């Protein structure tokens, strides 16, 4: 049975399940309904006006912020606009994106292999953030969220990008295009073709480019989107040569009216709107759906190529009951218009009053009526015999105008939560003697007020990072790839990788850090405080500078992170009791930290069961090795590595010689009553001193051939000779 007219909306076939030849008219109807909805309820007008102010212009009068425009019957009105709207909005964007977020990739398991592959995923994400321009694109997405209520980043796989390499593909006959088979075996013949290996692609959209069902109660409930792209029609015709002539004949179309602020007549442009329809996998559409089309022409399509639609969204807040976002900047549009009106009135009056004009009686014997370009003679009939030439005094601008303008700007800052300190121009109310700590606190308050935008920014980064991992894993192929950016301490784990290695990734977390460290004032206050406490010493001035410039303490803690990773790897090997593996400690290790970490393994109930004795012995041997080296550690080295706390522990250990029990304190019960029954030793006791591995020793040092004596070893290390 033929489907009804799609314009009637009464089809009994779900639009996403239509055949390729029937689906394009129904998708175009969805597009038209969307634009009619956002235009009919005024949402599109608000967004366009917001984008206009961000661009330094207006959509109603055509006036701009970069020059004075004349209006009125004779050009007597001077239109002057101060664009506080853009300044406040850009402050929101800068506050949100001032510090690069810390991205951490969470592995499915805690074993060494999973952690190493999670490090690969993190290195991959860092590469696209820094080298592929993704960080700037994320900021642009936040900017669209602020001024256009929504910003989107779509991640997909571009088969035409990436490094060009030779690949074996089935050979085809150059004339017929049919596959060529081997005449003997009948197997398809292969040939080497130089072609790109593919790479990720990121595309930026705003709410005008992402069509969805406008009646959906919330964005998270939407099951499909239609994305609008602008492509060169000649490139598109080359990609689809069988319909190339038809594509070249297309023009931009009426939907460009809602594209950007500067759209007018685009009939001469080679860019045409190309639409991509993506439908999630749902009961009504089990395999999902993908369709690419333009102007009634079906270009390509099939099932949804991804597990989920790989689109990330930034919306400062939600317009409740709709699938649209909302930005507090829209609430400032009226206030900005008021400021524009006050500026226009004051500018017109001030400039008009500043131009000198003379009152000249008609009976005065004056021949020059214009004294200059800015001074005019205004003739009048004198009263009585008074024919004096005098200056015309214009009425002054009421001071209430200036005060009301200041109050309106303050109201805009209050509504947006972006105060004068965050904008870089502290108001008199802040105080001329404001300290750095006070300014840092006010900056932090502005960031906390910006909480909605912060959260959606974090969510967008997280979604994009997950899309990077998932799409690279699914479409990256089977060729090994080399990461170009790796961590200084993790470089030994992330040299080469296969896209399939990303299977170990469970999730991605994003941390924007403390609000105090997001602004320069807060970072300076924190750096000064750490210097006062002695945590940043004069010889480590680079840490101080890095904290102020970047707001990160990574250089101070990278070594600790590397040591922590090593200890975790040692614990894994101790638990597995690998044959041939031996724990090796150095005298420079932080023994006071590593000993408790190793002993934590013995808290595992499984290690108290019969059969766990080899693991117990291996753990206790590692502990004994650390204890021996700790006792032999030079005191100055202890102070350098661990400071006063470690030195206090070292002193206590020096008071108890190795192999002896500490002196029993008064008032404590004896280990066993004299003459009484002895308590049976536990598993730990039975494996303690007697069963521990032999204490590690240093290799014998070489003898001096002249004196016959051995060369002394490192201080604090017992020579094994």
For 332-360, write each residue's pLDDT tens digit. 998 888 888 888 888 877 776 555 666 67
Q: What is the pTM of this model?
A: 0.66
Query: Which of the two residues, 65 and 199, has the higher pLDDT score?
Result: 199
For 123-127, 459-463, 527-531, which range has the lowest pLDDT when averaged over its residues? 527-531
pLDDT number for residue 396: 77
**pLDDT given at position 29:** 94
Per-residue pLDDT at 57? 75
Residue 318 has pLDDT above 60, yes or no: yes
Identify the residue with better confidence: 402 or 61. Answer: 402
Q: What is the pLDDT of residue 443?
A: 53
- Give Cα 591 distance to the centre of its chain: 38
Q: What is the pLDDT of residues 240-255, one digit of tens each?
A: 999 999 999 887 665 5
More confident residue, 1 or 344: 344
More confident residue, 446 or 70: 70
In this prediction, residue 508 has a pLDDT band, given cuts at 50, 70 and 90, of confident
Residue 641 reports pLDDT greater than 70? yes
The pair of structure tokens assigned to 505 is 């990734």
DSSP class of residue 373 equals T
Is residue 9 pLDDT above 70, yes or no? no
Q: Minimum mean pLDDT among 159-163, 289-293, 424-428: which range?
A: 424-428
Q: What SS3 string covers 471-487?
A: HHHHHCCCCCEECCCCC
Q: Under a CB-based contact definition with an 8 Å cutoff, are residues 81 and 343 in contact?
A: yes
Q: Is residue 6 over pLDDT 50?
A: no
% of the chain surpassing 70 pLDDT? 64
The dihedrals phi and psi of 507, each to the nearest 5 degrees, come to -160, 175
pLDDT digits (tens, 9 = 90+) for 374-390: 456 666 666 666 666 66
Query: Which of 73-77, 624-628, 659-663 is predicted least confidently?
Result: 659-663
Q: How far apart are alpha carbons 308 and 522 in whole angstroms? A: 40
Do 516 and 440 touch, CB atoms closer than 8 A? yes
Residue 259 has pLDDT above 90, yes or no: no
- Overall average pLDDT of the 618-629 stretch: 91
Confidence of residue 582 (pLDDT cuts 50, 70, 90): confident
Q: What is the pLDDT of residue 117?
A: 75
* Polymer length in residues for the chain: 721
Among 169-173, 412-416, 521-525, the least confident range: 521-525
Provide the pLDDT for residue 625: 92
Distance of CA 231 to the CA centre of its chain: 28
Cβ distance 94 to 418 under 8 Å? no
Mean local confidence (pLDDT), 573-587:
82
Q: Cα 351 vs. chain centroid, distance in angstroms?
A: 47
The whole-angstrom separation of Cα 417 and Cα 442 is: 11
Q: What is the pLDDT of residue 105?
A: 80
Over residues 71-91, mean pLDDT: 81
Q: Which helix (H) or strand (E) holds 405?
A: helix 399-416
Among the ranges given (67-76, 294-303, 511-520, 570-579), the one the predictor scored with the smallest mean pLDDT:
511-520
Residue range 496-525: mean pLDDT, rounded: 64
* pLDDT for 2 beyond 90: no
Give the burial class of 121: count Cβ atoms within 10 A of its Cβ; 0-12 exposed, 13-18 middle, 19 or more buried. Answer: buried
Condensed to tens digits (0 to 9), the pLDDT of residues 149-168 reads 999 999 999 988 877 777 67
Q: What is the mean pLDDT of the chain?
A: 76
- pLDDT at 366 exceeding the cut of 60: no
Contact (Cβ atoms closer than 8 angstroms) between residue 61 and residue 72? no
């Amino acid at each position: 049975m033929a489907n009804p007219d799609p314009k009637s909306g009464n089809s009994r076939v779900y639009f996403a399940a239509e055949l390729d030849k029937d689906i394009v008219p129904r998708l175009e109807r969805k597009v038209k309904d969307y634009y009619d909805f956002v235009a009919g309820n005024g949402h599109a007008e608000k967004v366009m006006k917001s984008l206009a102010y961000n661009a330094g212009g207006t959509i109603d009068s055509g006036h701009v912020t970069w020059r004075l425009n004349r209006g009125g019957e004779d050009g007597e009105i001077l239109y002057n606009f101060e664009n506080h709207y853009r300044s406040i909005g850009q402050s929101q964007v800068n506050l949100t994106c001032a510090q690069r977020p810390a991205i951490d990739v969470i592995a499915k398991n805690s074993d060494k292999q999973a952690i190493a592959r999670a490090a690969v995923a993190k290195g991959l994400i860092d590469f696209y953030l820094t080298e592929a321009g993704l960080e700037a694109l994320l900021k642009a997405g936040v900017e669209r969220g602020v001024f256009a209520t929504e910003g989107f980043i779509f991640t997909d796989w571009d088969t035409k990008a990436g490094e060009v390499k030779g690949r074996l593909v089935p050979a085809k006959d150059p004339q017929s295009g049919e596959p060529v088979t081997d005449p003997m075996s009948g197997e398809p013949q292969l040939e080497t073709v130089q072609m790109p290996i593919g790479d990720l692609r990121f595309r930026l959209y705003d709410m005008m480019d992402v069509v969805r069902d406008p009646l959906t109660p919330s964005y998270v409930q939407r099951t499909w989107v239609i994305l609008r792209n602008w492509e060169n029609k000649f490139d598109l015709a080359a990609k689809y040569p069988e319909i190339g002539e038809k594509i070249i004949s297309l023009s931009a179309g009426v939907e460009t009216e809602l594209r950007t602020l500067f759209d007018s007549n685009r009939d001469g442009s080679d860019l045409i709107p190309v639409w991509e329809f993506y439908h999630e996998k749902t009961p009504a559409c089990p395999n999902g759906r993908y369709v690419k089309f333009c102007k009634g022409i079906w270009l390509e399509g099939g099932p949804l190529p991804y597990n989920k639609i790989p689109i990330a969204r930034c919306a400062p807040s939600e317009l409740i009951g709709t699938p649209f976002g909302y930005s507090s900047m829209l609430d400032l549009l009226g206030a900005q218009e008021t400021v524009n009106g006050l500026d226009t009135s004051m500018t017109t009056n001030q400039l008009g009053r500043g131009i000198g004009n003379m009152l000249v009686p008609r009976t005065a014997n004056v021949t020059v009526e214009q004294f200059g370009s800015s001074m005019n003679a205004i003739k009048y009939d004198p009263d009585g015999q008074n024919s004096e030439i005098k200056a015309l005094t214009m009425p002054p601008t009421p001071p209430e105008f200036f005060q009301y303008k200041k109050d309106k700007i303050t109201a805009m800052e209050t509504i947006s939560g972006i105060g004068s300190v965050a904008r870089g121009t502290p108001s008199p109310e802040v105080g001329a003697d404001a300290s750095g700590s006070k300014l840092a606190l006010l900056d932090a308050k502005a960031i906390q007020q910006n909480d909605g935008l912060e959260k959606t920014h974090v969510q967008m980064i997280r979604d994009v990072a997950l899309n990077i991992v998932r799409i690279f894993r699914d479409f990256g192929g089977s060729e090994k790839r080399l990461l170009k950016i790796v961590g200084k301490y993790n470089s030994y784990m992330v040299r080469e990788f296969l896209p399939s290695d990303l299977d170990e990734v469970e999730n991605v977390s994003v941390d924007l850090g403390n609000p105090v460290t997001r602004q320069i004032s807060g970072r300076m206050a924190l750096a000064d405080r750490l210097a006062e406490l002695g945590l940043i010493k004069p010889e480590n001035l680079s840490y101080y500078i890095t904290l102020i410039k970047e707001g990160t303490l990574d250089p101070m803690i990278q070594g600790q992170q590397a040591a922590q990773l090593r200890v975790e790897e040692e614990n894994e090997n101790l638990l597995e009791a690998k044959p041939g593996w031996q724990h090796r400690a150095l005298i420079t290790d932080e023994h006071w930290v590593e000993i408790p970490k190793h002993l934590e393994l013995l808290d595992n109930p499984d290690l108290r069961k019969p059969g766990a004795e080899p693991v117990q012995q291996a753990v206790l041997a590692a502990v004994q090795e650390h204890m021996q080296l700790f006792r032999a550690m030079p005191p100055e080295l202890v102070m350098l590595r661990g400071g006063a706390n470690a030195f206090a522990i070292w002193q206590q250990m020096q008071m108890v010689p190795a192999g002896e029990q500490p002196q029993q304190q008064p008032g404590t019960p004896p280990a066993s009553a004299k003459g009484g029954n002895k308590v049976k030793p536990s598993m730990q006791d039975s494996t303690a001193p007697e069963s521990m591995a032999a204490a590690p020793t240093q290799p014998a040092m070489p003898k001096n051939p002249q004196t016959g004596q051995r060369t002394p070893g490192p201080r604090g290390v017992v020579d094994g000779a």
